[in-house]
Amino acid sequence: MGKQDVISKSILKRIFVDVATYLFGLKLHNVQLIDTEQQRIEDRRADLVARVQDEAGNKFILHIEIQNQNQRIMPIRMLRYLTDIKLNHPNEKVFQYLLYIGQEKMNMASGIHSQQLDYQYAVIDMHMIDYQDFMAQSTPDAIVMAILCDFKGVPEKQIVHGLLSKLGMCMK
């Protein structure tokens, strides 16, 4: 770091304290400036994002994120996806869903709640959905989703056999 950088940071630190004290009413005891410069070279893509229209005629962007393990930072990731989508489509409503398909019991937060932010998205834990809800459908894609659901104590082999039979009937 050059000599001018050190002087600049020292001045900025004093200004920071004055702004925080006199404008925000904060009484600070310790200030450590945080370097916020970040180089980002990343390929970040949401799983599924589509512009949709519901049967009532409402148009919006639907974001579905599929997650197979618990991650403490998932709410932050979802917020990043939301900001990315909103930056590209600022005038459109966005609805977000996290679809959890992991083996472990789901224990992730479904949003961020702090003094600065109240952010929430919907979470669907596939293990809480009865497999019969999907087996009762008539489209192959919906029927296959049954494999991710709660089997309600029915043996896996029996579910798979029923699923294959139902798919066979749909394909005729």
Helix, strand, coil in percent for the chain, rounding step 5: 40, 20, 40
**Same domain? 121 vs 79:** yes
Say whether pLDDT at 69 is over 90: yes
Give the domain CATH number at 111: 3.40.1350
Rounded Cα distance between 102 and 25, Å, is: 46
Say whether pLDDT at 3 is over 60: no
Q: How confident is the model at residue 4 (pLDDT cuts 50, 70, 90)?
A: low
Nearest Cα to Cα of residue 79 among 66, 98, 61: 98
State pTM to two decimals: 0.76
**Same domain? 84 vs 134:** no
CA distances from 117 to 6, 20, 30, 55, 134 (A): 33, 20, 24, 32, 36
Host domain of residue 159: 129-172
**Same domain? 91 vs 133:** no
